[in-house]
C-alpha cells in the first residue's frame, strides 16, 4: 500500500531486489521519492532498510530491478560518481583536522581554491547553526551534537542532489536527539535538498518526515504521510510498529456483525471491506476513554483499572478486560481520579478505529 509524493520525482525504484545467497534482503521494492522531500524508511532490525540505503548510495549493487535518478539508470554507477552523499551513524570525521578542514574536504578534492573553500565553509556553519569561530576549532573538542552538525555541513559541501542518512542520531542521548530532530527538519526546509533517512525510531520518523515507508522482511508494506500511517495502518504489523495500540481480534458473525474472537461482545466499526471474514480492530490509546453511562460511546467494554503511568503532559492508564490489557491516555489536566483495581467501563466510537484483515 503506497501513497505517491505530490512533488516531481527525483528518485525511482523499480522492482529493486538484493539477494545474499538464498536470502532476499530487499524484495521487489517500488518507490518514488519527490524532489525536496524528506522521506524516511523505518522498520525493525533485519527488515532490509540499511541494505536498501546502501544500494541507493552505490555501496551495494542490486541483484535485480532499477534505480532511476532524474530519469537515468544508475545501478552500476560508483558511489563517488553519484550526485548523492551519505551521512553515517559513525560520522567518519577526520579527528586530526579542524572543523573548517573537515567541512572543506570535498571542495579541496574538487580543486576549489582556498578562499572559496573557506567562504563556503563559513556559509555552511551558518546554515548548521554553528558559530563561525568554530572554523579553526579541533573537531575532537566539539560535543556530540556539534560533530553531528559538522558531518552534515561536510555532506552539504558536496552539493549533492540527495542526502542519505544511516541512523545518524541513534548514538545520541535523548534530550540532544530531540533538539537535533527539530533542527534537521528546519535545515531540510531551508536547504531544499532531498533527504532519504533510515531509522528504527518511530519518534524520529513521525517528527521529521514528509512521508514514511515501513519495511518488513525486505518489502515496503506501507508508504504514506505520518498522519496516514498512524491513523490508517494497512495491517496489524504497521499498527503495532507505529506506537501504542489496542487490538481486538474480530470476525464476522452469521448476521454480518463484528464479534470478538477472544473478547465477548459485538463491535461497531468503520465500513467493513469486501470479502472481510476475520481480522483485527485497531484503536489508538488517545481514542479510548473511560465512560460513565451506557450509550455514551458506540463501543463499550468493562474491566478493572490495572495501572497508571505519568508521561509528562499525559497520563497513560491500563485497563484489564479478561486476559487482555487495554491502554488509554488522557492529558494531565483531565486525569481520571480513580483507584487501582476498581471496576471501570471504557469506550470508543466506530470512526476512531481501523479494521485490518492481516
Residue-wise pLDDT for 292-327, tens only, equals 888 899 999 999 999 999 998 999 999 999 999 999
Q: Which of 231, 263, 297 is the last residue of a domain?
A: 231
- The CATH code of the domain that includes 222 is 3.40.50.300
The count of domains in the chain is: 2
Q: Which pTM does this prediction carry?
A: 0.88
Residue 302 lies in a domain: yes
Are residue 36 and residue 91 in the same domain, yes or no?
yes
- 2: pLDDT strictly greater than 70: no
Query: Is residue 168 scored above 90 in pLDDT?
Result: no
Domain's final residue, options 231, 257, 285 = 231
pLDDT digits (tens, 9 = 90+) for 124-141: 999 888 999 999 999 999
Q: Which residue would you say has higher pLDDT here, 227 or 145?
A: 227
Beta strands (DSSP E) in 225-323 are: 246-252, 258-260, 266-267, 278-283, 289-291, 299-311, 314-321
Do 230 and 242 contact (CB within 8 A), yes or no? yes
Using the predicted structure, report yes or no on whether residue 3 has a pLDDT greater than 70: no
* pLDDT band, residue 144 (cuts 50/70/90): confident
Residue 242's pLDDT is 82
Confidence of residue 195 (pLDDT cuts 50, 70, 90): very high
254: which 3 cell numbers? 452469521
pLDDT of residue 30: 97
Instruction: Please check whether residues 92 and 221 belong to one and the same domain.
Output: yes
Q: Which residue has the cell 494531565?
A: 332
**Residue 236 falls within a domain, yes or no?**
no
Q: Are residues 198 and 267 in the same domain?
A: no
163 in a domain, yes or no?
yes
**Does 237 reside within a domain?**
no
**Apex 107 CA angle, 106 and 109, nearest 5:** 65
* 3-class state of residue 131 by DSSP: coil
In the chain, the percentage of residues whose pLDDT exceeds 70 is: 99
Domain enclosing residue 123, as ranges? 9-231
C-alpha cell at 37: 522531500
Residues 184 and 310 in one domain: no
- What number is the average pLDDT over the span 56-70? 96
The C-alpha cell 537515468 sits at 72
Asked if 325 contacts 319 with a C-beta cutoff of 8 angstroms, the reply is: yes
Please give the full DSSP string across 138-194, using - where no structure is assigned.
BGGGS-HHHHHHHHHHHHHHT--SEEEEESTTTTS-HHHHHHHHHHHHHHHHHH--E
281 and 226 belong to one structural domain: no
Look at residue 267 and tell me if it is in a domain: yes
- Ordered DSSP codes for 21-60: TTEEEEEEEEEEEETT-EEEEE--TTSSHHHHHHHHHTSS
**What is the three-class DSSP state of 104?**
helix
pLDDT, tens digit, 9 for 90 and up, residues 215-266? 999 999 999 999 999 988 999 999 988 888 999 999 998 888 899 998 988 9
CA quadruple 93, 98, 99, 100: dihedral, nearest 10 = -120
pLDDT band at 274 (very low <50, low <70, confident <90, very high): confident
Same domain, 187 and 132: yes
Domain end point (choices 204, 231, 258): 231
* 238 occurs within a structural domain: no
Q: How far apart are the first and last CA of the chain?
A: 13
Q: What is the mean pLDDT of residues 107-119?
A: 93
Pair 260, 127 in one domain: no
Same domain, yes or no: 185 and 265: no
**Which neighbouring-strand residues pair with 214?**
42, 222
Same structural domain for residues 148 and 249? no
DSSP secondary structure code for residue 274 in this structure: T
Q: What b/e sequence results for 208-231 when a residue is b if at least 16 CB atoms lie within 10 Å of its CB, and e otherwise?
A: bbbbbbbbbebbbbbbbebebbbb
Mean pLDDT, residues 192-197 taken together:
95
Tell me, yes or no, whether 157 and 28 share the same domain.
Answer: yes
Q: What is the mean pLDDT of the chain?
A: 91
Mean pLDDT, rounded, for 110-116: 92
- Quick one: cell of 263? 473478547
- pLDDT band of residue 349 (cuts 50, 70, 90) is very high
**DSSP state at residue 271:** P
Whether residue 34 is predicted with pLDDT greater than 60 in this model: the reply is: yes
What 8-state DSSP symbol labels residue 136? G
Whether 222 and 254 map to the same domain: the answer is: no
Residue 347, domain CATH: 2.40.50.140
**For residue 177, how far is the Cα from the chain centroid?**
14
Q: Is residue 162 part of a domain?
A: yes
- E strands present in 312-351: 314-321, 324-331, 343-348
Domain shared by 116 and 174, yes or no: yes
- Asked if pLDDT for residue 174 goes beyond 90, the answer is no
Contacts of 130 (CB under 8 A, 6+ apart): 99, 146, 149, 150, 153
pLDDT for position 190 = 87
Residue 269 lies in a domain: yes
Amino acid at each position: 500500500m503506497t501513497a505517491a509524493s505530490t512533488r516531481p520525482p527525483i528518485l525511482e525504484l523499480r522492482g529493486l531486489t538484493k539477494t545474499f545467497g538464498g536470502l532476499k534482503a530487499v524484495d521487489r521494492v517500488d518507490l518514488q521519492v519527490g524532489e525536496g522531500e524528506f522521506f524516511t524508511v523505518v522498520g525493525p532490525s533485519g527488515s532490509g532498510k540499511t541494505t536498501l540505503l546502501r544500494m541507493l548510495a552505490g555501496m551495494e549493487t542490486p541483484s535485480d530491478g532499477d534505480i532511476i535518478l532524474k530519469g537515468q539508470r544508475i545501478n552500476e554507477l560508483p558511489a563517488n560518481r553519484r550526485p548523492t552523499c551519505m551521512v553515517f551513524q559513525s560520522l567518519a570525521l577526520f579527528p586530526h583536522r579542524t572543523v573548517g578542514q573537515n567541512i572543506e574536504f570535498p571542495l579541496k578534492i574538487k580543486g576549489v581554491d582556498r578562499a572559496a573553500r573557506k567562504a563556503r565553509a563559513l556559509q555552511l556553519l551558518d546554515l548548521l547553526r554553528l558559530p563561525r569561530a568554530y572554523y579553526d576549532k579541533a573537531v575532537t573538542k566539539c560535543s556530540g551534537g556539534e560533530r553531528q552538525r559538522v558531518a552534515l555541513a561536510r555532506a552539504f559541501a558536496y552539493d549533492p542532489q540527495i542526502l542519505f542518512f544511516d541512523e545518524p542520531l541513534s548514538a545520541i542521548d535523548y534530550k540532544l536527539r530531540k533538539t537535533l530532530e527539530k533542527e534537521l527538519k528546519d535545515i531540510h526546509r531551508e536547504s531544499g535538498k532531498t533527504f532519504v533517512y533510515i531509522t528504527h525510531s518511530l519518534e524520529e520518523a513521525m517528527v521529521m518526515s514528509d512521508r514514511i515507508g515501513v519495511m518488513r522482511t525486505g518489502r515496503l508494506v506501507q508508504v504514506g504521510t505520518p498522519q496516514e500511517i498512524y491513523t490508517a495502518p494497512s495491517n496489524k504489523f504497521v499498527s503495532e510498529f507505529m506506537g501504542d495500540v489496542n487490538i481486538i481480534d474480530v470476525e464476522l458473525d452469521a448476521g454480518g456483525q463484528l464479534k470478538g474472537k477472544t473478547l465477548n461482545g459485538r463491535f461497531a466499526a468503520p465500513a467493513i471491506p469486501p470479502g472481510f471474514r476475520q481480522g483485527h480492530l485497531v484503536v489508538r490509546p488517545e481514542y479510548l476513554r473511560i465512560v460513565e453511562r451506557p450509550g455514551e460511546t458506540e463501543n463499550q467494554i468493562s474491566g478493572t483499572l490495572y495501572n497508571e503511568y505519568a508521561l509528562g503532559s499525559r497520563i497513560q492508564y491500563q485497563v484489564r478486560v479478561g486476559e487482555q490489557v487495554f491502554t488509554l491516555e488522557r492529558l494531565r489536566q483531565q486525569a481520571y481520579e480513580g483507584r487501582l483495581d476498581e471496576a471501570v467501563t471504557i469506550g470508543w466510537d466506530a470512526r476512531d478505529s481501523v479494521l485490518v484483515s492481516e
